[in-house]
Structure 1
């Protein structure tokens, strides 16, 4: 009986994962997350705040109610192949992390085909500067900022953390980034083989400058690289290659592999309905707590 119920649950999870990404927009997961109680312990502190120089906007999530002292900050970059995604669609991630004691900033950024690399990375750098300048307004600590992202968002987060030129260009000290969590990110994917990568990076004169692995260095901020053996969209070799390069240089790096999860399944595991599929939230929170010295343990 128990095996039958588990089998049915697995089929439902797989079916929802397929529906979630075939039907446009992860907004549906955020809606389901809200219905399942994913917002418990979190509140949206701001919506559609303007930042940067190109009309970008961001949302801010934080722990609900009074908190003791300023909280560590996460700037979360969503995925979508550098051409898709919205900040509203990733409310489930903002709620999940805010409920664990973080102030969470989710910015939009310009996308293909309106722009090409490095425009979206420059937008992300402006979001980090905004977080530094305004964290206190929402109960955050500008001295404890981490970056987190999924897929294309993980590429952006890693590039910001490793190639200091982007943050320097925004007048933000690159040392403002204290830790990075990359979920299913492409870090070493040249030569370009997918249409998304070709559209986003193919016209750039030096392809190596598009690759986070090119900027691996010993003094990189601590990084947690998450992958899954069943990911056929962004192969696990990306995380493994960056992990090995950072490790060889003596940089602090942690690695998690969640066997059986799809590319989408990794970020879906942050949501309340799918949190039981893998400890992505718990492991990310534990890593960030250790590096940022704060926040409550994952529930």
Structure 2
């Protein structure tokens, strides 16, 4: 039998989902659910480029002293949708665990195609390197994290040195990240976003597996039919076969969206996404 609190959550959630976007509803319910107190938004809309989509926000624990480790979180959306305004629940969750959290937007298909969204991610990280100390973050302890298409961006930035930021990334966490997904489905989201690449292999994070890669934590639901778990398993094997550090955690019965929802307070029982990622990052980033 559902608890009174659970029934209330469902009762409130149902009309919210019907009335507004899914993520807007999730943020609303997340804000109504107790927990994750003591965080604040430090910046809303700092520009790291000239396009309106090249802006970011920053969250941090209230009253923090000293320089905190930094997590730059890239949301997903098939490279063609999404916005940072829908992901406050993720930023707040990580900030409550002791991080300065940066949440960037980036340009999307069809406005742009490969590799512009990755270049935007790199530009956001360069802004972080130059400015995060002013907001309580340690520029020497920066990690990237992302879900789905955002995880693809995060992994490329961490593994592929051509974007100019890999050496400043100390850890990476991927939630259901596409890492080894050739061939593209004709007319699908990946094809629309990256089918223009002269060498499609260059779009694949696994192609840049290396011994000296930053430590990777690859989280995946075993019920994910959108980005198959083999993406995480193959990337981890590629890195560890070279002598690098990568680990995979598979969550039983969790799908593509469930692994992200588990960052929000109402759905943390779905998977240990928040605990596993924050523990890994604290251990890896803390000098």
1:42: how far off?
1.0
CA distance, structure 2, for counterparts of residue 286 and residue 142 of structure 1: 20
Aligned to 1:160: 157
TM-score, structure 2 as length reference: 0.92
> What is the correspondence of 1:110-259 to structure 2 with a 5 Å cutoff?
110-166=107-163, 168=164, 172=165, 174-193=166-185, 195-259=188-252
Q: Structure 1 residues 23, 186: closer, same or farther in 2, change over 3 A? A: farther
**Which of the residues 58, 61, 79 maps onto 1:82?**
79
CA distance, structure 2, for counterparts of residue 77 and residue 232 of structure 1: 21
Counterpart check, 1:58 vs 2:56: yes
1:37: how far off?
3.2
For residue 101 of structure 2, give the secondary structure of its aligned residue in structure 1.
strand
1:248: how far off?
0.5
For residue 232 of structure 1, give the secondary structure of its aligned residue in structure 2.
coil
For residue 265 of structure 2, give the secondary structure of its aligned residue in structure 1.
coil
CA distance, structure 2, for counterparts of residue 23 and residue 258 of structure 1: 29
Q: Check whether the contact 1:144–1:177 (CA below 8 A) recurs between aligned residues.
A: yes
Q: Check whether the contact 1:148–1:154 (CA below 8 A) recurs between aligned residues.
A: yes
1:277: how far off?
1.8
For residue 83 of structure 1, give the secondary structure of its aligned residue in structure 2.
coil
The alignment of Structure 1 onto Structure 2 pairs a total of residues equal to 280
> What is the correspondence of 1:37-56 to structure 2 with a 5 Å cutoff?
37=34, 39-55=36-52, 56=54
Find runs of 4+ consecutive structure 1 residues off by over 2 angstroms: 19-25, 52-55
1:276: how far off?
1.8
RMSD: 2.2
1:22: how far off?
11
CA distance, structure 2, for counterparts of residue 178 and residue 33 of structure 1: 29
1:163: how far off?
0.5
CA distance, structure 2, for counterparts of residue 232 and residue 181 of structure 1: 20
TM-score, structure 1 as length reference: 0.88
Deviation per CA, 1:249-293: give whole Å up to 9, x if none: 111111111111110000110111111221110110110011101
1:215: how far off?
0.5
CA distance, structure 1, for counterparts of residue 133 and residue 282 of structure 2: 19
CA distance, structure 2, for counterparts of residue 118 and residue 203 of structure 1: 9
1:39: how far off?
4.9
Aligned to 2:92: 95
1:20: how far off?
6.0
